[in-house]
Amino acid sequence: MNERSPEEELDVFFGPRPAPSVPVAPRLGLVVGGSLSKGLEVKLDPQTVIEGLAVGRYVVVHGRTGRRFFSLINDIALDATNPLIEKTPPDVSDPFIAQVHRGTSIFGCIHVAPMLVLEQGAAEPKPVKTVPDHFSPVYEASPEDVALVFGDAGQAGYFTIGEPLDMEGVRVTLDLQRFVERSAGVFGKTGTGKTFLTRLLLAGMIRHQAAVNLVFDMHNEYGWKSQDETKQEIKGLRQLFPTGEVAVFTLDDASSRRRGSRTDGIVHIGYDQVEPEDVDGLANLMALSDVQVGALYFLRRQLGKRWIARLLDEDDALDELAAALERGTLHGGTLGAIQRKLGMFRRFDFLQPQVVEDPVQQVLDYLDRGTNVVLEFGRFGNSLEAYILVANYITRRIHAHYVSRKEAALGGQGSEPRPLIITIEEAHKFLDPAVARFTIFGTIARELRKYNVTLLIVDQRPSGIDPEVMSQIGTRVTCLLDDEADVRAVFSGVAGSQALREVLARLDTRQQALVMGHAVPMPVVVRTRTYGTPEFYAEMGVREGSDPQAVLTRGRSILRGDDVEI
């Protein structure tokens, strides 16, 4: 008499199940309990090696009616049929005794969270609204399952961000069109690779022309070149796309030359171009009180366009403001405090009494042509005041330009501007709850691409970002975080976050990230792809000798006789 398999036994009890539509991977176990809100409990089969499973891996539950539930492992446990086994464990030195107990009286369990379901005959997965039956078999997710959920890397607008855990060679992709529809964030504590991950995302957007990017490069890591953790030189975005897709501007030409960075322009800002709104964003860093912030606007009206230069020239300002001081419209102590605090501007060489060219118009000319712009800060990247001042100054004017162009397009008087992504680091300094609703960055985050402008925020302290702004972050790419407040902030507004918290807590410190939100159909833990490998360069279109400047340099060397082969 032939013995029936476990699946055949279940078919006798429940009736035959529909044949699976794709080949299935090895079976892990059976569903033995759970709920839609709390997830499913799965008892592992005796042959399943529990040590081979990991939190964050994908499994697929095959339901009785042909549904397939794509699920995420968020906990692993050991269990026993008899609680006394914990008190009096058997002698497992005998392999036979160990085999008898394993899978019968003792067994492994996993807790999985269903994320998506594929109905029989449907073309794409949908959100989960039910749970599979008792004893539904659970399988490892196959490469076909992953491709079905996340899309094929060969599809237009899909960019590979990495591989699922323990699924080498299987690609997880981002839908870049959805990624740029809303603001996005890259989070993680210091040293987890946020910069490499951000550079990876920027390269994908540039390669697929999903949007035009403006990057405020605080530490000079995105433009011409950088170094990886092994101190090996890697190409920046300007080298990666040498045929005009990326332009590099700098605030510190001397620093750029020392680093060998090839730039397309130098940004100088005139004192007469700075408005009180630009300084307002620095109120916290400069310790400006509400009274002093209000006085900035009064001083601008009284002193005209050169108000900052005149305030820095104390005698000039006092002569003009003598009447206001005498009437009591302006308090002398307030004026003195503002002059002292504005004195920090003297440290910034990029601020000059007058400039010939408008730096914002220079940047806009490139952006309007579809050229991505990286603004390097040089030595000024060490000054948070300089970073916030320049980012606020440029972004306010670019946003106004985009609002004007979008409204003109709605009125039939022009074409819409290209979608623009503005990348900022130390984002919590711009989006602190006390100032986010008044700053241009808070405005952009809340507009949800109303004027074709969104943010890519990079930060190690998401808890410092205004909760209202965090709720508008469409896609969140999160590396390891160990501060409870930061973890809560990242998961604010995310359904099923409790299960995902365990996944996030067990990420490696390097090259692993939890991706969730608008650009992926379900949360996924990936081992992020490596930026700077020959394979990555080839996918981005870089070939040996493709840098025109490198070709020119080699040609000159040959003419000098330095590189002649005999």
Looking at residues 225-244, what average pLDDT do you find? Answer: 85
d(CA 350, CA 140): 57
Which tokens belong to 452? 């074709």
Look up residue 501 and give its two tokens.
Answer: 């918290």
Q: In this predicted structure, what is the pLDDT of residue 285?
A: 83
Averaged pLDDT score across all residues of the chain: 85
Interatomic CA distance for residues 464 and 383, integer angstroms: 19
User: What size, in residues, is the chain?
Assistant: 566
Residue 261 has pLDDT above 50, yes or no: yes
State whether residue 97 is helix, strand or coil. helix
What token pair was written down for 405? 């162009």
Q: CB atoms < 10 A from the CB of 70, how many?
A: 23
Residue type at position 95: P
C-beta atoms surrounding 548 within 10 Å: 11
Which is more confidently placed, 13 or 408?
Answer: 408
| Residue 332 in this model has a pLDDT that exceeds 60 | yes
How far is residue 492's CA from residue 421's CA, in Å, rounded to a whole number?
23
> In the structure encoding, which two tokens stand for residue 86, read together?
């914990």
Please report the pLDDT score of residue 549 as a whole number: 46
* pLDDT at res. 550: 45
At 368-379, the pLDDT tens digits run 999 999 999 999
Where is average pLDDT lowest: 49-53, 137-141, 233-237, 431-435? 431-435
Secondary structure of 170-215 in HEC code, one letter for each residue:
CCEEEEHHHHCCCCEEEECCCCCCHHHHHHHHHHHHHHCCCCEEEE
Element (H, E) at 372: strand 372-376
- The answer to whether 395 and 455 have CB atoms below 8 angstroms apart is no
Q: Are 542 and 207 in contact (CB under 8 A)?
A: no
CA distance 82 to 69: 31
Distance CA 133, CA 63 (A): 6
Query: How far apart (Å, rounded) are the C-alpha atoms in residues 458 and 211?
Result: 18
Band of the pLDDT at 5, cuts 50, 70, 90?
low
**Is residue 226 scored above 80 in pLDDT?**
yes
pTM as predicted: 0.84
From residue 428, give the alpha-carbon distance in Å to each of 244, 381, 433, 437.
32, 16, 9, 13
Structure confidence at residue 114 as a pLDDT band (50, 70, 90) = very high
Average pLDDT over residues 81-88: 81
Exposure string (b/e) for 408-421, b if CB count within 10 Å is 16 or more? eeeeeeeeebbbbb
pLDDT of residue 41: 96
**What is the pLDDT confidence band of residue 315, given thresholds at 50, 70 and 90?**
low
What's the pLDDT score for residue 554?
40
Which has more pLDDT, 107 or 314?
107
Q: Which stretch of 252-256, 348-352, 422-426, 560-564 has the lowest confidence by average pLDDT?
A: 560-564
Q: What was the pLDDT predicted at 318? A: 65
Model confidence pLDDT, tens digit, residues 191-209? 888 999 999 999 999 999 9
Amino acid in the structure at residue 425: E
Note the pLDDT of residue 555: 39
For residue 292, which amino acid is it?
A: Q
Q: What is the pLDDT of residue 81?
A: 87
379-411 residue pLDDT tens: 998 888 999 999 999 999 999 999 999 999 988
pLDDT (0 to 100) of residue 6: 56
Q: Are 143 and 382 in contact (CB under 8 A)?
A: no
For 30-81, give the DSSP string.
Answer: EEEEEETTTEEEEEEPTTS-GGG--TT-EEEEE-TTS-EEEEEEEEEEEEES
Which whole number is the average pLDDT over 111-136?
A: 90
Which of 152, 229, 215 is CA-nearest to residue 186?
215
Q: What is the pLDDT of residue 429?
A: 85
pLDDT at 246: 94
Name the one residue in this structure whose structure tokens are 């979608």: 419
Evaluate if residue 287 carries a pLDDT over 50.
Answer: yes
Give the three-class secondary structure for 169.
coil
> Cβ neighbours of residue 345 under 8 Å, at least 6 residues apart?
271, 308, 312, 351
pLDDT at 551: 39
Q: Please state the rounded mean pLDDT for residues 265-269.
A: 92
Strands (E), 414-517: 420-425, 453-459, 475-478, 512-517
pLDDT above 50 (res 423): yes
DSSP characters over 109-132: EEEEEEEEEE-TT-SS-EE--S-P
CA angle 192–221–196, rounded 5-degree value: 35
- Mean per-residue pLDDT for 490-513? 85
**Measured between alpha carbons, how far is 114 from 77 in angstroms, rounded to an integer?**
18
Adjacent-strand bridge partners of 113: 72
Confidence at 520, pLDDT banded by 50, 70, 90: very high
Distance (Å, rounded) from C-alpha 15 to C-alpha 65?
Answer: 10
pLDDT range class, residue 546, cuts 50, 70, 90: very low
